[in-house]
């Protein structure tokens, strides 16, 4: 097993590629645009890495392949596995539970059984592909059992786990009938990474209470002598890449064309989100609609552009959410718009990255109001694209990004009046004020980009390995 394996294995629910069918009818793979791929790609290349994940769809006979030099190993999913592991336990149970129970999580024993069997398949594949003593980096809530399953199969490996979404307080996780199995699953890793320090603390506290292991600060001490560390690694974006794109002639021209097409209003408000009930889309549009109704500004002064990217469309909550939002948009436009001037320009679609950058450059007020969000990269992307140090960010306190972007107009998305005041302040802010805030946020994003995130996680994971190999006592209180 060890001789031919890879020194680094990335395990994530999805492969970092999308299947595209060309004009000739032939299907090819294209790298997905996300920041995660760009972050992990240099690490993959440096370590002879391989990426295991689901390529989407239900094709059963897929062979390993490479795209732009990245080695990819597809794991196929059956229709039942998609329904019960992905849409069911991952997105119908864990997603709402980990996001403050914004929607009611469903608990079904069949979903759990399939979650276990899919996790096992990922773990077995990782065990097969990893070289002796290799590093395996497992990602996100769909695969929380993989670390322990993998450790049982391959005790020689260094295993890291990173959770992209929040890890909630013990009081909420407690509801989960399989809470102990999930905690034990994660404890198979040497390093468990979270977006925020509070999430790491929630995890350590739960492990102490529910599994009964000894803990000290961010360390968990297992009965077999192993030590697991839980810590925060706030994820970020390719800030320089976004900035470069924002500066390009094409994006600059496109941003001007967008403003023109919207009728050159005084201010453009913008929201871009996956159509998800955690993102607070409905509440922000209501706040905007009320400001128009109150006469704070008119549809000639301001327009709200809301891009709602289709997401998880087969899950019932998501279908209902879409209906609710579209009803509200129709109402606001019907009551407050006039011919050629809708109050809200609503787009249920996804765009290429250049178009996103053009929208960010065209918008005066970016509105990001999730009820709960692990980080929220859209907020950071907006900041990276504001190359002229202008524009206002209205940001929910409950997005992980609020920890770093302190100069945003921070809002509680449950407080409708508070949200209206913040939108209005951002609308009215003087250029000097905008520039002071934006400069500070841009410094933060430039220094803490996605490369720094990936490097710090990998360094931490390998440092711990070094300590263990050299017999350092990890229980030494100096380290604690």
CA distances from 290 to 109, 328, 335, 462 (A): 44, 12, 11, 53
Whichever of 1 and 257 has its CB closer to ligand GDG, that residue is 257
Q: Which x/- pattern, by CB under 6 A, does the window 403-442 give for ligand GDG?
A: ----------------------------------------
Q: Counting Cβ atoms within 10 Å, is residue 470 exposed (0-12), middle (13-18) or buried (19+)?
A: exposed
Whichever of 164 and 254 has its CB closer to ligand GDG, that residue is 164
- Which of 103-111, 255-263, 331-339, 367-375 is the region at the interface with ligand GDG (rule: CB under 6 A)? 367-375
Q: Quickly count: other Cβ atoms within 10 Å of residue 153's Cβ.
A: 16
Whichever of 141 and 427 has its CB closer to ligand GDG, that residue is 141
Q: Helix axis angle, 377-385 relative to 239-247, nearest 10°?
A: 50
β-sheet bridge partners, residue 399: 373
| Cβ contact 389:259 at 8 Å | no
| Cβ contact 405:263 at 8 Å | no
Residue 165 interacts with ligand GDG (CB under 6 A): yes or no: yes
- Which of 9-17, 104-112, 312-320, 376-384 is the region at the interface with ligand GDG (rule: CB under 6 A)? 376-384
Residue 381 interacts with ligand GDG (CB under 6 A): yes or no: yes
Query: Smallest gap, in angstroms, from Cβ of residue 203 to ligand GDG?
Result: 16
- Which of 47-55, 119-127, 316-324, 352-360 is the region at the interface with ligand GDG (rule: CB under 6 A)? 352-360
- Pick one of 280, 374, 391, 413: the residue that binds ligand GDG (CB under 6 A): 374
Angle at 291 between CA 289 and CA 293, to 5 degrees: 70
Q: How many angstroms separate the CA atoms of 423 and 410, rounded? A: 10
Query: Smallest gap, in angstroms, from Cβ of residue 419 to ligand GDG?
Result: 19
Whichever of 221 and 351 has its CB closer to ligand GDG, that residue is 351
The residues in 16-75 that bind ligand GDG, with binding defined as CB under 6 A, are 33-35
Q: How many angstroms separate the CA atoms of 211 and 182, rounded? A: 11
Closest of 195, 142, 201, 196 to residue 169, by C-alpha: 201
- Pick one of 17, 191, 235, 343: the residue that binds ligand GDG (CB under 6 A): 235
Size of the site for ligand GDG (CB under 6 A): 21
Query: Smallest gap, in angstroms, from Cβ of residue 444 to ligand GDG?
Result: 15
| Cβ contact 160:189 at 8 Å | yes
Query: Smallest gap, in angstroms, from Cβ of residue 334 to ligand GDG?
Result: 26
Within 13 Å and on the Cβ side, how many CA atoms surround 318?
18
Enter the tokens of residue 220.
């968990």
Q: Is the dihedral of CA 324, 330, 333, 336 positive or negative?
A: negative
Radius of gyration for the alpha carbons in the chain, expressed in angstroms and rounded: 23
Residue 348 interacts with ligand GDG (CB under 6 A): yes or no: no
Alpha-helix residue ranges (DSSP H) falling in 187-314: 197-206, 239-247, 249-261, 281-294
Residue 452 interacts with ligand GDG (CB under 6 A): yes or no: no
Residue 350 interacts with ligand GDG (CB under 6 A): yes or no: yes
Q: Which x/- pattern, by CB under 6 A, does the window 179-218 give for ligand GDG?
A: ----------------------------------------
β-sheet bridge partners, residue 192: 161, 230
| Cβ contact 393:382 at 8 Å | yes
- Pick one of 120, 121, 128, 164: the residue that binds ligand GDG (CB under 6 A): 164
Alpha-helix residue ranges (DSSP H) falling in 130-195: 146-153, 170-173, 179-186
Whichever of 220 and 255 has its CB closer to ligand GDG, that residue is 255
Q: How many angstroms separate the CA atoms of 9 and 44, rounded? A: 8
- Which of 178-186, 284-292, 372-380, 413-421 is the region at the interface with ligand GDG (rule: CB under 6 A)? 372-380
- Which of 115-123, 263-271, 350-358, 441-449 is the region at the interface with ligand GDG (rule: CB under 6 A)? 350-358
Query: Smallest gap, in angstroms, from Cβ of residue 311 to ligand GDG?
Result: 8
Residues of this chain that bind ligand GDG (CB under 6 A) = 33-35, 164-165, 235, 272, 274, 309, 350-353, 356, 373-378, 381
């Amino acid at each position: 097993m060890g001789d031919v394996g890879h020194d680094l294995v990335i395990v994530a629910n999805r492969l970092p590629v999308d299947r595209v069918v060309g004009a000739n009818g032939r299907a090819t793979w294209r790298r997905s645009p996300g920041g995660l791929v760009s972050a992990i790609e240099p690490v993959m290349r440096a370590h002879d890495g391989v990426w295991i994940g689901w390529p989407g769809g239900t094709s059963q006979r897929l062979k390993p392949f490479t795209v732009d030099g990245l080695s990819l190993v597809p794991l196929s999913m059956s229709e039942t596995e998609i329904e019960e592991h992905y849409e069911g336990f991952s997105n119908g149970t864990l997603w709402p539970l980990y996001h403050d129970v914004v929607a009611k999580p469903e608990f079904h024993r069949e979903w759990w059984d399939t979650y276990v069997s899919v996790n096992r398949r990922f773990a077995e594949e990782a065990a097969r592909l990893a070289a002796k003593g290799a590093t395996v980096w497992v990602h996100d809530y769909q695969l929380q059992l993989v670390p322990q399953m993998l450790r049982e199969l391959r005790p020689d490996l260094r295993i890291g786990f990173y959770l992209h979404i929040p890890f909630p307080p013990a009081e909420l996780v407690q509801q989960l009938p399989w809470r102990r199995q999930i905690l034990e699953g994660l404890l198979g890793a040497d390093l468990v990474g979270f977006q925020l320090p509070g999430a790491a603390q929630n995890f350590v506290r739960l492990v102490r209470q529910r599994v009964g292991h000894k803990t000290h600060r961010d360390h968990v001490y297992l009965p077999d002598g192993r030590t697991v560390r839980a810590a925060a690694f706030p994820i970020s974006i390719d800030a320089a890449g976004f900035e470069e794109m924002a500066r390009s002639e094409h994006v600059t021209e496109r941003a001007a064309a967008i403003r023109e097409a919207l009728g050159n209003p005084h201010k453009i408000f913008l929201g871009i989100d996956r159509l998800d009930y955690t993102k607070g889309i409905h509440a922000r549009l209501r706040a905007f609609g009320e400001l128009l109704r109150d006469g704070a500004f008119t549809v000639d002064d301001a327009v709200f552009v809301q891009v709602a990217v289709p997401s998880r469309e087969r899950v019932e909550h998501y279908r209902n959410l879409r209906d609710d939002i579209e009803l509200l948009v129709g109402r606001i436009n019907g009551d407050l718009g006039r011919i050629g001037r809708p109050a809200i320009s609503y787009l249920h679609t996804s765009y290429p990255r250049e178009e996103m950058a053009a929208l960010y450059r065209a918008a005066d007020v970016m509105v990001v109001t999730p009820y709960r969000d692990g980080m929220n990269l859209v907020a950071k992307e907006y900041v990276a694209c504001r190359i002229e140090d202008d524009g206002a960010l209205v940001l929910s306190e409950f997005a992980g990004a609020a920890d770093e972007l302190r100069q945003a107009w921070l809002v509680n998305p449950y407080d409708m009046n508070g949200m209206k005041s913040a939108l209005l302040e951002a609308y009215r802010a003087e250029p000097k004020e905008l520039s002071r805030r934006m400069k500070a946020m841009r410094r933060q994003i430039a220094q803490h980009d996605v490369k720094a995130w990936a490097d710090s996680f990998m360094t931490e994971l390998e440092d711990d390995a070094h300590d263990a190999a050299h017999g350092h006592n990890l229980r030494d209180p100096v380290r604690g």
